[in-house]
Chain A
Amino acid sequence: MSLTITCPICGKRDGYEFRFGGEDKGPRPDEDGLTPQSWCEYVHLNECVAGRQKEWWVHKDGCGSWFTIHRDSVMNVEVATPEAHK
Chain B
Amino acid sequence: MVEIKRYSPVAFKASPKRTEVRDNWTVVLEYDGEGQAAFGQSNVNENYLVDLSHITRLDVQSSNLDAITPFGITIPQGLCESYLQDGVLINRMNRIQASVFCLSGKRPEMPTESSYTETTEVGMCMAIIGKDVFSITEKLTSLDFMDYAKTTPFLYQAPMSHIPCQIITLSRDGAKSGIIFTASRGYGKDMVHAIMDAGAEFGLKPAGEDKVKSWLNTL
| Interface residues of A, Cβ cutoff 8 Å to B | 9-11, 13-14, 17, 59-65
Could you tell me if B156 and A10 are in contact, using CB atoms closer than 8 angstroms? yes
Residue B49 at the chain A interface, CB threshold 8 Å: no
- The A-contacting residues of B in range 83-107, CB under 8 angstroms, are 93-94
Total A-B pairs, Cβ < 8 A: 30
Smallest Cβ distance from A42 to chain B, in angstroms?
A: 30
Could you tell me if A13 and B158 are in contact, using CB atoms closer than 8 angstroms? yes
Neighbour of A61 across the interface among B80, B93, B94, B158, CB < 8 A: B158
Chain B: which residue is nearest A11 at the CB level?
B80
Q: Which residues of chain A are near B157, meaning CB under 8 Å?
A: 9-10, 59, 62-64
- The A-contacting residues of B in range 184-210, CB under 8 angstroms, are none
Residue B76 at the chain A interface, CB threshold 8 Å: no
Q: Which residues of chain A are near B162, meaning CB under 8 Å?
A: 61
Residue B79 at the chain A interface, CB threshold 8 Å: yes
Smallest Cβ distance from A64 to chain B, in angstroms?
A: 8
Q: Which residues of chain B are near A13, meaning CB under 8 Å?
A: 158
| Interface residues of B, Cβ cutoff 8 Å to A | 79-80, 93-94, 142, 156-159, 162, 164
Query: At the interface, is chain A mostly helix, strand, loop or mixed?
Result: loop
Q: Compute how far the CA of A62 lies from the CA of B142 in the bound complex, rounded to whole angstroms.
A: 13
Q: Which residues of chain B are near A11, meaning CB under 8 Å?
A: 80
Q: Compute how far the CA of A58 lies from the CA of B94 in the bound complex, rounded to whole angstroms.
A: 14
A10-B80, A10-B157, A17-B158 are known contacts. Are A63 and B142 too (CB-CB below 8 A)?
Answer: no
User: Which of A9, A62, A63 has most B Cβ within 10 Å?
Assistant: A63
Q: Compute how far the CA of A11 lies from the CA of B79 in the bound complex, rounded to whole angstroms.
A: 10
Smallest Cβ distance from A63 to chain B, in angstroms?
A: 4
Q: Compute how far the CA of A9 lies from the CA of B159 in the bound complex, rounded to whole angstroms.
A: 15
Chain B: which residue is nearest A8 at the CB level?
B79
Q: Which residues of chain B are near A10, meaning CB under 8 Å?
A: 79-80, 156-158
Q: Compute how far the CA of A85 lies from the CA of B156 in the bound complex, rounded to whole angstroms.
A: 29
Q: Compute how far the CA of A13 lies from the CA of B144 in the bound complex, rounded to whole angstroms.
A: 10
Could you tell me if A17 and B159 are in contact, using CB atoms closer than 8 angstroms? yes
Chain A: which residue is nearest B95 at the CB level?
A9
Q: Which residues of chain B are near A17, meaning CB under 8 Å?
A: 158-159
Could you tell me if A9 and B142 are in contact, using CB atoms closer than 8 angstroms? no
List the 8 closest A-B pairs by CB distance, nearest first.
Answer: A61-B159, A63-B157, A62-B157, A61-B164, A62-B158, A9-B79, A9-B94, A14-B142
Q: Which residues of chain B are near A65, meaning CB under 8 Å?
A: 94
Could you tell me if A62 and B164 are in contact, using CB atoms closer than 8 angstroms? yes
